[in-house]
Structures are given as structure tokens and as C-alpha cells.
Amino acid sequence: MKKQNLAEELYRMRKLMNFDSKEFNENTTSLDRLVESKILTKMLNEEEEDTNTVVDDCITIKHTGSFAAEKSDSSKPFEDFITKMKTEINENESLKTTIEEGGDVFITKLKIMGGASNYYNKKETAADLENDYTTPYAGSVEKDSGYKANIGYAKSRAENLLSAMVSKLPEMSIKLKDGLLEDAKNNIVTKVINTGGKNDHKRPTETHKNPGQIVKIEMEICQKIKEGDTTTQIENCIDELRFKIGYIPTETKGRSHGCDFAVFDITINDVYIRTINLNNAYYDTGTKASNTNSNNIKITDFTGSIDSGGNIFSARETDNKVKGQRMYGFTIYKGTTLWNQIMDAADNKLLIKYQGKGNAWYKEKDIYAIGGTGAAIDYQGNKIESHTSAVWMDIQQFKNGKEIVQVKGWTKAEGRSDAAVEIADLTPCTKSIEIK
């Protein structure tokens, strides 16, 4: 987004906030205007650039407008701010495409604050916040009718900005989330700012650099995934999925896993991905131990890298310690057969499951038959089934090589079973994930 220079910004704010009105001109001297220009120039130089963040296929727009007069009306309802919204949407390919294809784009979050300087009728009034917009007012001036009048100005400024913005939404094909406008109106924040007991254009800028007669707005604009077209919508915002799954002792938060019967098939949307071996006890490390690995045997099933049809399926990462770390990484790219199979069944969800190998599988492996060849009985006499106490998930979503979002956490599934167990339910393009 192109940032305006200071002259353009000053002119824009003057026109938008109506402080070139006849009433203002009659009460403002040329010296006042010069001082105001220098103050605003200094303020804009020091002010942090407006933040317009792209996250989860949404854009977050933050904007602050400064009034240079007591009045709150403006004849031109924030046309430049609307232009700013349009520009940000056009720069987000997914949102732009959704609008062009007749999909829904809507404001999901909306917060607005109106401010006023602590000056009214030629005298200082009480304030709510110090000049940093954060610290509670520390002055001793009591709240009186002047303070109440300033609160009224602050609210009116916020309401006028909100109404002007809403009137422009239809031409941009943007909708408001149900109930959001009413909620925003009911929750307008009004604050009188300590500007040294002066109007903004006369405030002592060395000690009170920020203006008080402001409107601050923050909104989130998102696309709505259309039913029946989820694959297209998902692929507009991500083209690469990276997974890590395994066991990390340092992240256990009190959990502990030491087992040689932890071989699982991983699926996404019931599409087979790969088999992982999370064994991390004596048979896995090849450590001789009484009752278990008395023959000093080492298990190596499903530990290498595999051919993944253009994707990346790495070998198992291990610290080779009993009860140590075991981890698998795999990356799935848009356009591969595996990606297409997953997305064809997506329905806007990535449902991740693991299914442990059953007793029949372990019987075929003499190495697991602790109770005798073909028995598949552990040293405690239990029938062997895949077992784990926890699985660590780390999922990253990318678009054009840039990470869009990362989610991670522990599954809660545990026990001995060969049943398919849901371990994570992820909404693509967002941080929305349910760890089972």
C-alpha cells in the first residue's frame, strides 16, 4: 500500500474532518494553522505506520483520523479510508477472487473509539487517559459539564465514521457479520485524552505529542468459504502443508511415553499418508534389558524416508534414547496426487487420524513376540496392540513459500487399540484446530 506524504495526509484529514468549515475558519488564526501544521507533521513523522495485517485469509485494517475542531460532523464520509479498504482487498488475491466470483466477503470484527481533547469553553476539563492513549488520567480536574460535552463529541465522531463507512459497503460487495453493526454501535468507546488542557492545535507537543480529537477504527475483513466449492477456496489461500508428528519429551507437560508397540497409520480426510513408528523403548534403541529385549534386538520398521510422489516424506528423527524423542516430518504440495485426494474430500476440514497396528500385525513380526514366536504377548502377559500416551502435532500452512499460519499441540488420545482415532480437526487457512 502506498503511504501518503505529509502534505497529502494533512490535506486529506482537513477535508475529511470538515475543519476547513466556515465556523472553524472564523475561529482559527493563520498562526494557529501554522502551528497546527507543524504539530501534525511532527506527530505523523513519529506515529507508527497504520497496520494492515494479512492473517488467515483475512485483512485487519487499523486507522486513526484526527479532528482539528470541536465539531464532529464531516460532509465527506471518509472516502480515502474507503479507498484504503478497497486497496487492501485488491492486494489480497483470495478476497479479490471471492468478490469477483460472487462469493461472500464480510466484516467479522469491528471496534471503534472516539476521542476528544480535554478542553472545552476556554478551559481545561478532566480526561480519561493520558496522552499515550493507555495510561489512566492522573490529573485532579473533576468531571463537569465540559467533560460531558467532550464525551458527546467523541461519541458523535465515532458514530459518524461508522455510518459513513457502512454506507459504502454495498458498492464494495462487503457484508457485515450478523449482529456486528449493532454490537459495534453499542460498544463504542469514548475517551477524553489529556492534551494539556488545550485543543489539539494549541496543545504543548513536547509533553503531549498525540492529538485527542481522534477516531480510531479496527476491523477484520474475511472471506466466507462457499459450500460446494471448498477446494477452490482452500487453494486460494494455501498451496503447501507441512506436518510434524511424534513424541517430544520436553513438550510432554507431565505425560510420559516409553513403548515398543507404537506403530500407526496416519490419514488425512481418510486418505492414507504414511505409517509412523513412535517406538522409543528397548527394542527400538536395541538396548539389552531383562524382561524385554533380552536378545538385544533392534526394531527398524517404518523408519526410513519414502517415495511420496513429489512431496517430501523424511526419515524418522530420533535421539535414540529410551523414552526419548521420535518425530516424522512430511510436506504435501498443491498439484500432487496426494494433495488432490485430500482436497477432494476436504469439505473445508482436514481431519487427521491415526490407526494403530493390531495384534495380528504384531504376530507376524517375530521381533515383537516376547512371549514366544507368533505369540505377540508382552512381558506382562498382555496381548500386544499399538499403544501411546500422547502424540505431538505441528501443522504449518503456506502460500507462495510464506507461512500463513501454524498450529500445534498434544493429542489426548491414549490406550491400546487398532481402531482409527481422530487426533486433530483443522480448518484450512485458519488457526482453527481442535486437538482431540
Residue 60 in domain? yes
Identify whether residues 131 and 178 lie together within a single domain: yes
In a domain, 312, yes or no: yes
Global pTM value: 0.47
Q: Domain for residue 361, yes or no? A: yes
- What is the span of the domain harbouring residue 56? 6-223
Bridge pairing between strands 402-410 and 392-399? antiparallel
Give the pLDDT of the chain (436 residues) as one tens digit per residue.
Answer: 344 444 445 445 554 554 444 444 444 444 444 444 444 444 444 443 444 444 446 788 888 877 655 444 454 436 667 777 888 888 888 888 888 888 778 898 899 999 999 999 999 999 999 999 999 999 999 999 999 999 999 998 888 888 888 888 888 888 888 778 888 988 899 999 999 999 988 999 999 999 998 888 888 888 754 444 455 556 667 888 898 888 888 776 656 678 888 888 889 988 999 988 888 888 888 888 766 777 777 888 888 888 778 888 888 999 999 889 999 999 999 888 888 888 887 777 788 888 888 777 777 776 665 544 445 565 556 666 666 556 788 888 888 888 877 777 776 555 566 667 777 777 777 655 555 5
Q: Is residue 213 part of a domain?
A: yes
Q: Would 309 be classed as within a structural domain?
A: yes
329 and 377 belong to one structural domain: yes
How many domains does the structure of the chain reveal? 2
- Separation CA 249–CA 107 (nearest Å): 42
In the DSSP assignment, the letter for residue 322 is: T
Identify whether the C-beta of residue 317 lies closer than 8 Å to the C-beta of residue 246: yes
Dist CA 111 CA 26 (whole Å): 35
Same domain membership, residue 271 and residue 317: yes
Q: Are 238 and 399 in contact (CB under 8 A)?
A: yes
* Residues 415 and 317 grouped into a single domain: yes
The cell for 85 is 479498504
Taking 3-state DSSP, the helix, strand and coil percentages for the chain, each rounded to the nearest 5, stand at: 30, 30, 45
Residues 6+ away with beta carbon under 8 Å from 286: 293, 296, 297, 298
Rg (CA), the chain: 31
Q: Identify whether residues 208 and 265 lie together within a single domain.
A: no
Q: Is residue 1 part of a domain?
A: no
Give the 3-state secondary structure of residue 120.
strand
Rounded-to-integer distance, Cα 47 and Cα 131, Å: 13
Question: Do 314 and 328 meet the contact criterion of CB atoms below 8 Å apart?
Answer: yes
